[in-house]
Amino acid sequence: MGLGGQDSSVADYVCQLPPAERTKALQELREDDNIRDQSLEQMREWINKHPNIKKCRTDAPFLLRFLRTRKFSVPLACEMLERYLTIRQLYPQWFRNLDCEDPDLAEIINAGYLVPLLERDQGRLVLFSCAGKFDPHKFTSAHMVKVHSLITEALMDDEINQINGYTYINDESGFQMAHISLWSLTDVRNILRCIQNTTPMRHKANHFLNISSSAIKLIEFAISLLNEKLRNRIFIYKSIDEMYDKIDKKILPKEYGGEVPLEEMLAKFKTTLKEKRDSVLSLDDMYIEIDEKTCPLVSEMNEELGVGIDGSFKKLAVD
């Protein structure tokens, strides 16, 4: 079931968390050495016995993505992993072949559309996006989602990120009607449901700047599709000064009141992407057999994602 070079036993994993993250993991996620080791063992056993999962990473950093997102509820972590594997195959245009050397993806990244900041927000990694740096006349919504998928996959094995979660800052200046025309309402609904229920990330805060009248309707529609917990973590500002009450401006790019130019942050992250390229691409080696007769989850997810097959699925909490 494991993938060569990435499989490992519980004994191979040594917890090297800093004291602050170790304390937070215990307080917020119920994680200690014993629970973590037992949960990893239980997940590996579940993967090994799953009739549809043919190939899957079983190393600790990968499985801990799901366990930490689900606060060490092994059943919920396993369910999220099953969803994650299935979604990657149902939507290959969004979640597969995430190659930082792909010319289109590289051009979008080089433009500075989505950049992780160097400094953290209360321990959280900050993903900074600039709508105006995505060319809606040249690229599609699939390109946009794929860039987000590539960048987050490169970050999700980091245990500090797994425990502290993520803050998002979105500068919507430069957002055009052409950006809206890239998206069908079905695609907006589907990608948001994927993010809520299949992406093993702790989404902690989402900040929006410079929203135009053309952008506000799409953003309001997207917000309406989120669960209450995520809706309560969205903040919209009339000015950047207003955002400084929530975000320490020192961590922001120099262009937004911080100290380090965005270009410098981007250059550093591109080095990280190159280092992670092989491991991100190897995710495509994972395989779950999709057969709605033997894998009920598929029909349930199809119903939830609007694919058109009857079924139902309970809403999962997000943290």
- What's the pLDDT at 318? 37
79 phi/psi in degrees, rounded to 5:
-65, -40
Q: Does 152 share its domain with 298?
A: no
Residue 5 domain flag: no
Q: Does 200 share its domain with 229?
A: yes
Query: How many domains is the chain partitioned into structurally?
Result: 2
Residue 155 domain flag: yes
From the list 236, 234, 242, 240, the residue with the least C-alpha distance to 253 is 240
- Domain extent at residue 190: 99-278
pLDDT tens sequence across 102-120: 999 999 999 999 999 999 9
Residue 314 domain flag: no
- What's the pLDDT at 95? 96
Residue 306 has pLDDT above 50, yes or no: yes
CATH label of the domain that carries residue 131:
3.40.525.10
- What's the pLDDT at 10? 44
Q: Does 79 share its domain with 106?
A: no
In which band, very low, low, confident or very high, does the pLDDT at 293 lie, cut at 50, 70 and 90?
A: low
- What's the pLDDT at 192? 85
Q: Does 165 share its domain with 187?
A: yes
Residue 5 has pLDDT above 60, yes or no: no
Residue 294 has pLDDT above 80, yes or no: no
Q: Does 233 share its domain with 215?
A: yes
With pLDDT > 70 as the criterion, what percentage of the chain qualifies? 87
Query: Given its phi and psi angles, is residue 268 left (phi above 0), alpha (psi -120 to 50 degrees) or beta?
Result: alpha
Taking every pair of Cα atoms in the chain, the longest distance, rounded to a whole number of angstroms, is 56
For 281, residues 6+ apart whose C-beta sits below 8 A from its C-beta are 97, 98, 99
- What's the pLDDT at 301? 58
pTM of the model: 0.88
Q: How far is CA 268 from CA 117, 138, 195, 234, in A?
A: 10, 26, 26, 28
CATH label of the domain that carries residue 21:
1.10.8.20
Q: Does 191 share its domain with 256?
A: yes
Q: Does 85 share its domain with 182?
A: no
Measure the CA dihedral 270/276/278/284, to 10°.
-110
pLDDT tens sequence across 36-70: 999 999 999 999 999 999 999 999 999 999 999 99
Average pLDDT, the chain: 88
- What's the pLDDT at 13? 77
Of 98-112, 234-248, 277-291, 296-310, where does mean pLDDT reach its minimum?
296-310
Q: Does 269 share its domain with 297?
A: no
Residue 168 domain flag: yes
